[in-house]
Amino acid sequence: MTKFLSDNAAAVHPAVWDAMRAADHADNPYDGDALSAEMDARFTDLFGRECAALWVATGTAANCLALGTMCAPHGGVVCHEESHIEVDEGGAPGFFLHGAKLIHVLGTGAKLAPDEIARTIDPIRDDVHQVQPHAISITQASEYGRSYSPAELKALAAFAKERRLGLHMDGARFANSAAFLGGSAQDAAQAACGGVDSLAFGFIKNGGMNAEAVILFDPEAANHVRYRRKRAGHLQCKGRYLAAQILGMLEGDVWLTNAAHANAAAQEIALGCGERLMHPVEANELFVRLSASEREALRETGFEFYDWGEDAARFVSAWNTRDEDAVALGKAIAAL
Amino acid sequence: MTKFLSDNAAAVHPAVWDAMRAADHADNPYDGDALSAEMDARFTDLFGRECAALWVATGTAANCLALGTMCAPHGGVVCHEESHIEVDEGGAPGFFLHGAKLIHVLGTGAKLAPDEIARTIDPIRDDVHQVQPHAISITQASEYGRSYSPAELKALAAFAKERRLGLHMDGARFANSAAFLGGSAQDAAQAACGGVDSLAFGFIKNGGMNAEAVILFDPEAANHVRYRRKRAGHLQCKGRYLAAQILGMLEGDVWLTNAAHANAAAQEIALGCGERLMHPVEANELFVRLSASEREALRETGFEFYDWGEDAARFVSAWNTRDEDAVALGKAIAAL
Amino acid sequence: MTKFLSDNAAAVHPAVWDAMRAADHADNPYDGDALSAEMDARFTDLFGRECAALWVATGTAANCLALGTMCAPHGGVVCHEESHIEVDEGGAPGFFLHGAKLIHVLGTGAKLAPDEIARTIDPIRDDVHQVQPHAISITQASEYGRSYSPAELKALAAFAKERRLGLHMDGARFANSAAFLGGSAQDAAQAACGGVDSLAFGFIKNGGMNAEAVILFDPEAANHVRYRRKRAGHLQCKGRYLAAQILGMLEGDVWLTNAAHANAAAQEIALGCGERLMHPVEANELFVRLSASEREALRETGFEFYDWGEDAARFVSAWNTRDEDAVALGKAIAAL
Amino acid sequence: MTKFLSDNAAAVHPAVWDAMRAADHADNPYDGDALSAEMDARFTDLFGRECAALWVATGTAANCLALGTMCAPHGGVVCHEESHIEVDEGGAPGFFLHGAKLIHVLGTGAKLAPDEIARTIDPIRDDVHQVQPHAISITQASEYGRSYSPAELKALAAFAKERRLGLHMDGARFANSAAFLGGSAQDAAQAACGGVDSLAFGFIKNGGMNAEAVILFDPEAANHVRYRRKRAGHLQCKGRYLAAQILGMLEGDVWLTNAAHANAAAQEIALGCGERLMHPVEANELFVRLSASEREALRETGFEFYDWGEDAARFVSAWNTRDEDAVALGKAIAAL
């Protein structure tokens, strides 16, 4: 069986194992160790602007801790109605934000744009009876594998600033967008990040084991997250193993190489999809129109994947997808 | 430098590394993998009664998720005033329990007993103006390295049942108590656990990396925890690496051997402490009366440890404490 | 100026004043007074089935306290996307339910029906990643002044029971629906209530000052609400003045008479609206298609009301709307 | 029977009734009416410094809403271990502050002083494992009927400022302290208030029905409270009746006269208590050493009051306590 179910359960990259092993000696507990202390500098270098970087074990925690710095319990977070925080995090934002509201916006390819956001929030009466927006959350790459361009991010940041809203980026597949946008590690990271206030930088789907980075471009926000991370039971005493995973993937740009590989596999598959593609492939996910019988045929050939509604399927490539498997899948779809 | 600061930052045991490595292949995400699925049966076997077992990354999360099954937001959890959930979890119980109250009780050696609990909760008026106790939380081994005996646990369980209170055990160093109480793995586990409703079974301080087990002896409570674990951002997508750690330590009773080793080291140190000991040593922690100058002298000899107030020090041994270091520390204290 | 803005700021009915005055002597504090103690029996008699009745000062608190008995923090409440709890309570459900989610459903006239609810909740995957529905909240009369018929309520109750969901009724204008459905006080109340599990029975818009009744048909739920009411700062020490308001309106069926009067006024107005009516008038609210210039003309004649979007207006009659004013408004609209 | 149980269930003062009646005409809903709009100016005048004033129905809500402006969910509020917010508000602070912690401090007469607070908070480690104090809450008059002097308040404000802690005053019996400190209404109010950041100014125990004022000396905090008041279900649509109560008691200094009357009654009683008094009488509460048989004897004479532990009783006078009853009680105690 060749799995295209998701990248979220793939094996761990050798560089990550090596980095964890290298951390296997006594050091200070929690985030007092040498590796955790190194993170701020490494990400500041990558993004070319001052930031704080904290490890947590899941993307859900990363998103919610970051959003907690910009949305009060009585406020709201603008997000796409199909965003992961709305649909797939088991109500975690409601928990971490103490009951704050998610305000749903539409948008092609699960992407948000200022005009659509304005269409939703402008009618909100400026009174205490209606929950006021405090922040915007976007997903890079989006839930449909679309990447925001630097121009789109610039427009969103300007809009957020004008409306005095925080701007957060759920970057569970941030690396895939960075690789899609291209350039050196620094260029790619900065292009994919734009001017957001915070970023949940995903490593797990991209070869890590259980470490994501919360990136905060406001130092005061970082202090907030430090207290809330502990309070949420997310401060691990052997945190150095999480820092090691992240630093191990930054070292030698493993994060970018892995993502580029997954993206390339997705493009291979896309070659066979033609008009079946529901969205442009701008990361490592494909949404493909396939009838029930076509999906059955593909599965009998040995491919694993999720149904997407009744007439489509989702395929996800990963850092360790074999080229030949991607090619084979593309051909199999083309042959349907 | 020889570290007796804490067991919470020790290296990871080889058996844990091996088990994690063996899990390094694709499987279902979250807790849908084969290893996670095995946990219930393994712990049911160990404790000799039906239970569900879920992994989480920290003891704080383990305690809070378990307590959430037995205390409503408007209720209270009885705990020792020096308990870890009260003093050292950054307010996590307030977060996970949505504002429930911790009700402080006194007790020698940070242990609770029915009469002391009654002295605190009996005066609580049975009306809506006062927060009513819903649960009791005890720590095995206690914050002062004391272990509850089976008889003490029996009395607490009976009391809890009579008062219709849930009974939770914070077992960050459960293995050390089990080893102290002795016998086969099953005998030791059952003796140390008694009749509690839930247990946060700690593996991290005892050789694990970042996996603790929430043990729930009520199946309905387990379902509650499953939803709340996700909601708290604690459901890892590559959860099999956490299950692997736990199963790796259950296999061949590594958990018990490691704890016994740490306990033995603590006893070695205790030999040199005599009257200086503030508490009987029933696990792997020692609280020793030492003046500032004595502590300084010890540190100059190369020992690392925490001050405990102004006139004492805390020493913690670990699964990988070398015998000769423990002996040396004991002698150094005796020689003061 | 003749106000048809809302019934929520109308004067207080003389019977309510009299009842409050009659309570102006020392009695036990909180809900320990004779009047508060009488409420359960009075509502049990009215609804013909055992219930507990607790006063609170606002409909928002009444709804949220009731919903708190049927929805856990990790669950969701199904409601109309234009329901008051979703749109106009400042995020109160998120606060009282500790972050639980409101699950939006469509429906004509802001009413819910089993098939629409099923269309929304059936696709929710039965896993921990998606918030599961725990309860349904309906509004009687609806936000568009529509009343649920006994048959509709029966279907909803059956659906809720089948899906194991709690069923709550926001009855801010419950009396108006009861009056619309007709019959004796008991017949009308029972017809309008159906088989819901809880009801926020509104008195304030109908002539009260600041007392609503939370009606709980499950005695255990009532105990829950008692603790939560105190915890939310809603247990008034001179609660007898709230009980007095409610009992004063039950006495002699003032509640039904007042509502019938407001409904009749609405029907008078409706006579002049013809095709302009956006919804059948089944309570005391009218939504009327009126251009900006038509609205301006009406206002110049001395009528006050709210715009409803860009091409319509909302008129609300009250217990003290004068007949001649309603007739005049109807005629003025007809004359446009 | 002559009731000295509490002032919290006393009848409503005629001036309050009159003010409510005078508000019995249509006006804007919520706090958009003329009376609510007047509150800021009236309290700014009284306190001699800019403030915002919002009505709520209970002291519990008033305290919690004010504290919410100065304590984050991960912070703590320093309070006396016998303070009302700790002991008698059903866990409301945990609810309104989203799980923040109450940090208990000792102090004679339920009063706090900087040195005692420092003794408690100085040992709190400045790290994420321990809940950091964000605010201090004091009670004027204290839970034992003691009043803070201007000098004591000045010291507390300086301490709070130095430690960057918010300072809140629970003024359920603020008027009684003001009357005790003496002078004109403005002098008394300012003396009793000192330099706190917020005040829950109680009117209910002093002749009101169900309106307290939240006074915020920081305008931004007031905006916070406006949203949170709605979110907590405390924004009444006929809010003018609450504003009326408060303004009715400010008018002609009814609040001060009432409190002075209650205080005088307490002093009358105190005359008979001599050495039995457990605390100086500085407001309208008396704590008196009385054996069980002595209490029984008093009750047989027709006095009602609460036991205070096993060897004492609490007596509370009110705005409408008759002089002769106070005198009689004093004599009855003296005669024991």
Domains, chain C, in order of start with CATH, read 2-8+255-334 (3.90.1150.10), 14-252 (3.40.640.10)
Report the run of H or E that residue D176 belongs to, with start and end. Answer: helix D174-181
Cβ-nearest to B98 among D74, D76, D99? D99
Cβ-nearest to B233 among A17, A61, A205? A61
Q: How far apart, in whole angstroms, are the C-alpha atoms of residue A214 and residue A77?
A: 18
* Residues 31-70 in C contacting D (C-alpha not used; CB under 8 Å): 33, 56-58, 60-62, 64
Q: How far apart, in whole angstroms, are the C-alpha atoms of residue A323 and residue A320?
A: 9
> Are the C-beta atoms of residues A172 and A140 closer than 8 Å to each other?
no
pLDDT per residue over B121-147, tens digit each?
999 999 999 999 999 999 999 999 999
State residue C1's pLDDT score.
Answer: 55
B85 touches chain D (CB under 8 A): no
Q: How far apart, in whole angstroms, are the C-alpha atoms of residue A215 and residue A222?
A: 8
pLDDT-derived band at A3 (thresholds 50, 70, 90) equals: confident
| Number of CB atoms found within 10 A of residue B120's CB | 16
B231 touches chain A (CB under 8 A): yes
Residue A234's contacts (CB-CB under 8 Å, 6 or more residues apart) are A56, A57, A61, A65, B57, B58, B61, B233, B234
Q: Where is average pLDDT lowest: B71-75, B77-81, B216-220?
A: B216-220
Cβ-nearest to B11 among A6, A17, A25? A25
All residues of chain C having their beta carbon less than 8 Å from the beta carbon of residue D57 are: 57, 210, 233-234, 236
Q: How far apart, in whole angstroms, are the C-alpha atoms of residue C153 and residue C47?
A: 15
Q: What percent of chain A has pLDDT over 90?
A: 98
Residue A87 pairs with which residues in a beta bridge? none
How far, in Å, are A200, C57, C172, C199, C242 from residue C213 at the CA level?
46, 9, 10, 8, 9
Size of interface B-D (CB pairs under 8 A): 59
Q: Which of C3, C8, C64, C210 to mutate to test the interface with D (most CBs of D within 10 A)?
A: C210
Closest chain A residue to the Cα of C99, Cα to Cα? A99
Give D82 to chain A, closest Cα distance, Å: 27
State residue C220's pLDDT score.
Answer: 87
> Are the C-beta atoms of residues C50 and D227 closer than 8 Å to each other?
no
Nearest to A230 by CA among B87, B79, B142, B9: B87
Cα-Cα-Cα-Cα dihedral sign, residues A89, A91, A97, A101: positive
State residue A152's pLDDT score.
Answer: 98
HSE-up (13 A, CA, CB side) for residue D267:
11
Strand B303-304 to B2-3 pairing: parallel
State residue B26's pLDDT score.
Answer: 85
Strand C312-316 to C285-289 pairing: antiparallel
State residue B330's pLDDT score.
Answer: 97
Residue C214 pairs with which residues in a beta bridge? C54, C200
State residue A253's pLDDT score.
Answer: 98
pLDDT-derived band at C196 (thresholds 50, 70, 90) equals: very high
All residues of chain B having their beta carbon less than 8 Å from the beta carbon of residue C74 are: 227-228, 231
- Cα D328 to chain centroid, rounded: 27
All residues of chain B having their beta carbon less than 8 Å from the beta carbon of residue D76 are: 91
Nearest to D19 by CA among D316, D245, D179: D245
Residues B215-223: what's their mean pLDDT?
94
Give C97 to chain B, closest Cα distance, Å: 10
pLDDT-derived band at D220 (thresholds 50, 70, 90) equals: confident
pLDDT per residue over B249-287, tens digit each?
999 999 999 999 999 999 999 999 999 999 999 999 999
Q: Which chains have at least 3 CB atom pairs separated by less than 8 Å from chain D?
A: A, B, C
Q: How far apart, in whole angstroms, are the C-alpha atoms of residue B249 and residue B13?
A: 9
* Helix pair angle (A185-193, A174-181), 10° resolution: 110
Residue A265's contacts (CB-CB under 8 Å, 6 or more residues apart) are A284, A317, A318, A321, A323, A325, A326
Instruction: Say if residue B182's pLDDT is above 70.
Output: yes
Strand ranges in chain D using DSSP code E only, listed in sequence order = 2-3, 52-56, 75-80, 101-105, 132-139, 166-171, 198-201, 212-216, 285-289, 303-304, 306-307, 312-316
pLDDT per residue over D17-45, tens digit each?
999 999 999 899 999 999 999 999 999 99
Give B146 to chain C, closest Cα distance, Å: 36
Q: How far apart, in whole angstroms, are the C-alpha atoms of residue D51 and residue D58?
A: 20
Residue C316 pairs with which residues in a beta bridge? C285
Residue B154: helix, strand or coil by DSSP? helix
Place of tokens 């539409």: A106
Cβ-nearest to D130 among B88, B93, B97? B88
Closest chain C residue to the Cα of A88, Cα to Cα? C129
**Residue type at C207?**
G
- Cα D174 to chain centroid, rounded: 5
* Interchain contact, C74 vs B128, CB within 8 Å: no
Task: Convert chain A into a string of H (helix), E (strand) and C (coil).
Answer: CEECCCCCCCCCCHHHHHHHHHCCCCCCCCCCCHHHHHHHHHHHHHHCCCCEEEEECCHHHHHHHHHCCCCCCCEEEEEECCCHHHHCCCCHHHHHCCCCEEEEECCHHHCCCHHHHHHHHCCCCCCCCCCEEEEEEEECCCCCCCCCCHHHHHHHHHHHHHCCCEEEEEECCHHHHHHHHCCCHHHHHHHHHCCCCEEEECCHHHCCCCCEEEEECCHHHHHHHHHHHHHCCCCCCCCHHHHHHHHHHHHHHHHHHHHHHHHHHHHHHHHCCHHHECCCCCCCEEEEECCHHHHHHHHHCCEECEECCCCEEEEECCCCCCHHHHHHHHHHHHCC
A143 touches chain C (CB under 8 A): no
Average predicted confidence (pLDDT) for chain D: 97
Instruction: Say if residue A2's pLDDT is above 80.
Output: no
pLDDT per residue over C205-251, tens digit each?
999 999 999 999 998 899 999 999 999 999 999 999 999 999 999 99
pLDDT-derived band at B219 (thresholds 50, 70, 90) equals: confident
Place of tokens 């009101």: D208
* Interchain contact, A90 vs B230, CB within 8 Å: yes
Residue B108's contacts (CB-CB under 8 Å, 6 or more residues apart) are none
State residue B1's pLDDT score.
Answer: 54
Q: How far apart, in whole angstroms, are the C-alpha atoms of residue D317 and residue B204?
A: 59
Q: How far apart, in whole angstroms, are the C-alpha atoms of residue B261 and residue D265?
A: 71
Residues B47-73: what's their mean pLDDT?
98
State residue D219's pLDDT score.
Answer: 82
Closest chain C residue to the Cα of B131, Cα to Cα? C227
* Interchain contact, A128 vs D73, CB within 8 Å: no
D25 touches chain C (CB under 8 A): yes
pLDDT-derived band at D3 (thresholds 50, 70, 90) equals: confident
Q: Which chains have at least 3 CB atom pairs separated by less than 8 Å from chain B?
A: A, C, D
> Are the C-beta atoms of residues C229 and B74 closer than 8 Å to each other?
no
All residues of chain D having their beta carbon less than 8 Å from the beta carbon of residue A98 are: 73, 98
State residue B319's pLDDT score.
Answer: 97
**Residue type at B169?**
M
All residues of chain A having their beta carbon less than 8 Å from the beta carbon of residue D98 are: 73, 98
Q: How far apart, in whole angstroms, are the C-alpha atoms of residue D39 and residue C199?
A: 35
Instruction: Say if residue A1's pLDDT is above 80.
Output: no
A178 touches chain D (CB under 8 A): no
> Are the C-beta atoms of residues C16 and C212 closer than 8 Å to each other?
no
> Are the C-beta atoms of residues D68 and D54 closer than 8 Å to each other?
no
> Are the C-beta atoms of residues D9 and C26 closer than 8 Å to each other?
yes
Give D237 to chain C, closest Cα distance, Å: 6
| Number of CB atoms found within 10 A of residue C190's CB | 19
Structure tokens at B218: 């009520």
* Interchain contact, C129 vs B228, CB within 8 Å: no
Residue D85's contacts (CB-CB under 8 Å, 6 or more residues apart) are D63, D64, D67, D77, D79, D92, D93, D102, D137, D170
State residue B220's pLDDT score.
Answer: 87
Closest chain A residue to the Cα of C123, Cα to Cα? A309
Please confirm whether the linkage preceding A318 is cis (ω < 30° from 0).
no
Decide which of A219 and B184 is more confident: B184
Closest chain A residue to the Cα of B228, Cα to Cα? A90
Cβ-nearest to A74 among C88, C90, C129? C90
Residues B198-217: what's their mean pLDDT?
98
pLDDT-derived band at A4 (thresholds 50, 70, 90) equals: very high
Q: Which of C97, C227, C236, C237 to mutate to test the interface with B (most CBs of B within 10 A)?
A: C227
All residues of chain C having their beta carbon less than 8 Å from the beta carbon of residue D23 are: none
All residues of chain A having their beta carbon less than 8 Å from the beta carbon of residue D237 are: none
Task: Convert C230-244 into a string of H (helix), E (strand) and C (coil).
Answer: HHCCCCCCCCHHHHH
Q: How far apart, in whole angstroms, are the C-alpha atoms of residue C281 and residue B211?
A: 61
State residue A135's pLDDT score.
Answer: 98
Residues D306-321: what's their mean pLDDT?
96
Please confirm whether the linkage preceding A141 is cis (ω < 30° from 0).
yes
Nearest to C242 by CA among C269, C214, C261: C214
User: Rounded to 10 degrees, what is the CA torsion of B178, B184, B185, B191?
Assistant: -40
Q: How far apart, in whole angstroms, are the C-alpha atoms of residue D263 and residue D147?
A: 12
pLDDT per residue over C296-315, tens digit each?
999 999 999 999 999 999 99
Nearest to A109 by CA among A275, A264, A285: A285
Q: Residue C164: left (phi > 0), alpha (psi -120 to 50), or beta?
A: left
Cβ-nearest to C98 among B73, B230, B235? B73
Residues C278-295: what's their mean pLDDT?
98
Closest chain C residue to the Cα of D211, Cα to Cα? C236
